[in-house]
């Protein structure tokens, strides 16, 4: 039996209009909620109403399998649909954020609130790098803490 713990996923960016029905079905199959962790599973009608142009679709599930939306995330990546995903730490699993913006998936360590964490070893590696001047060190640390893939998720736009 799998471990189940809280996770949320936010969907936005360009969405092919031809995939709308399949996307609604995939979301409904997750059993996620549209209105917070304590609300029931969203119905297809509720999902369809929430999936509107100019919005970001926010889903959460307090019993997500290993804190992920496996089939939904795979579907979104397969079709180039952007998302942010956060799962909380539970048992032996650390909290993490996953960002997808159409080219590559980036997963980073996070705290329970979803703020990205930088490993101390990476920070020290940059600070101790004698080939970088101070400006380059600051810029490198900024890119580590705010990678391009983690930029703000744009609202849904049907294409």
For 7-47, the pLDDT digits (tens) are 999 999 999 999 999 999 999 999 999 987 777 899 999 99
Instruction: Give the pTM.
Output: 0.87
Beta-bridge partner residues of 90: 93
- E runs forming strands in the chain: 4-12, 14-15, 57-65, 82-87, 96-100, 105-109, 157-158
SS3 of 111, please?
A: coil
SS3 of 80, please?
A: coil
Collect all residues with Cβ–Cβ distance below 8 Å to 55 and sequence separation of at least 6. Answer: 155, 156
Q: Provide the pLDDT for residue 63.
A: 85
């Amino acid at each position: 039996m799998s471990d189940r713990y809280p996770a949320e996923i936010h969907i936005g960016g360009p969405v092919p209009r031809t995939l709308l029905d399949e996307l609604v079905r995939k979301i409904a199959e997750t059993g996620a909620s549209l209105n917070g962790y304590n609300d029931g599973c969203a119905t297809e009608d509720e999902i369809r109403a929430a999936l509107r142009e100019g919005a970001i679709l926010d889903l959460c599930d307090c019993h997500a399998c290993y804190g992920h939306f496996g089939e939904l995330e795979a579907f979104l990546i397969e079709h180039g649909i952007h998302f942010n995903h956060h799962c909380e730490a539970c048992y032996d699993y650390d909290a993490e954020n996953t960002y997808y913006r159409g080219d590559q998936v980036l997963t980073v360590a996070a705290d329970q609130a979803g703020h990205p964490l930088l490993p101390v070893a990476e920070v020290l590696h940059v600070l101790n790098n004698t080939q970088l001047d101070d400006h380059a060190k600051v810029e490198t640390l900024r890119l580590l803490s705010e990678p391009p893939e983690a930029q703000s998720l744009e609202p849904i736009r049907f294409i």
